[in-house]
Amino acid sequence: MNEQQNPSRQNIFPMSPSKIAAFHYADFPLLLRPKSRYPLSKFSLLRDAVLRQGLLPSSQVFVAPDPGEHELLLAHSKAYIESVKSGSLSLAAQREIGFLWSDSMWIRGKRIVGAMLANIDSALSYGCAFSLGGGAHHSHREYGKGFCIFNDIAVGALSLSVRFPKMKIAILDCDVHQGEGTAEILRGVFSVCTISIHAERNFPFRKEKSSLDIALDDDAEDHEYLEAVDSALQFLRKSAQPDFLIYVAGADPFFEDSLGRLSVTAHGLEERDRRVFLLAQELNIPISVCFGGGYCLPIEKTIKLNLQTLRVAKEELAHASLESSNPMQPN
Ligand SMILES: [Zn+2]
């Protein structure tokens, strides 16, 4: 495979952490159902915290662009797209998604996908980029589900496949809930490998088959969780050997998460993130990060974990560029 066919095979690393871009859709509203557990405030609080703490300068934090409908069609049926656009979704379909229909469902649903597409473009150029949200992995080809309107991960992977037919893409989904929508949409797409590490007894109760599923028992702690992460990374290293990695850095395996069922600490999640970023460097591949779920009460605890992921990415990338600029240092 040459670089023209596959731009990710250019030397991405070492990259400058000062080039990390992030894409948000925090200012696009949603109509929530009464007593909804969806943490709508998370997205603006996260963006504001990234800027306030100086993790990224405002010149690297962008509003997600509006994608074309043709992008959505990569992963979703025309009938489903039309029903979200026109508001002809049945009440049952709205209940399944978890939001009430209004124009905002269509507008925000698209921007989540736009964030991922821009994230991927930026990662192709600079090695690593973020969606400040995203990870709508419960959305299927024909319907939305579990707070997921359109599947940004599947659209992103399929857009890469169309542009670079020889590129091998891997999705490492570390949200605590199985990425069953992603697995359903990408079933039979041989250039895309799907990996899900999740709590077996958690939502969704009807699981789909990913390329690799690692299901954990309730209350799994750091050592069990990190063992699962290591197995997934070994699978990526030995079997999948991807050219591009989409990483769903879910904060909901955290022991204080209200929808989690696992007992992973902040330190365990930090270690998970570190190992994933190190693997991307080892394989010399771009990595697009999104955050998936996180439902701590108060939501600030989830946001702290998302910020930690961004901090770890910056640390690891800075570390790598330092090492390569100083090749004489001892092992
Ligand atoms: Zn989740």
**Ligand 1 centre distance from Cα of residue 176 (Å):** 5
Q: Which of 112, 153, 142, 143 is nearest to 30 (CA)?
A: 112
Phi, psi angle pair for 87, to nearest 5°: 85, 20
pLDDT category of residue 70 using cuts at 50, 70 and 90: very high
**Ligand 1 centre distance from Cα of residue 324 (Å):** 36
Tokens of 246: 């989409």
**Ligand 1 centre distance from Cα of residue 74 (Å):** 23
Please list the residues that pair with 172 across neighbouring strands: 195, 247
- Parse the chain into domains and list their residue ranges: 17-324
Q: Whole-angstrom Cα distance, residue 289 to residue 229?
A: 16
pLDDT digits (tens, 9 = 90+) for 221-262: 999 999 999 999 999 999 999 999 999 999 999 999 999 999
pLDDT digits (tens, 9 = 90+) for 88-146: 999 999 999 999 999 999 999 999 999 999 999 999 999 999 999 999 999 999 999 99
Q: How many CA atoms lie within 13 A of 181 on its CB side?
A: 30
Pairing relationship of beta strands 31-32 and 99-100 according to DSSP bridges: antiparallel
Q: Whole-angstrom Cα distance, residue 73 to residue 77?
A: 6
**Ligand 1 centre distance from Cα of residue 115 (Å):** 19
The model's pTM is 0.94
CATH architecture assigned to 17-324: 3-Layer(aba) Sandwich (3.40)
Residues 6+ apart with CB under 8 A from 186: 154, 157, 158, 171, 192, 194
Q: Whole-angstrom Cα distance, residue 282 to residue 316?
A: 12
Q: Which of 72, 257, 114 is nearest to 177 (CA)?
A: 257
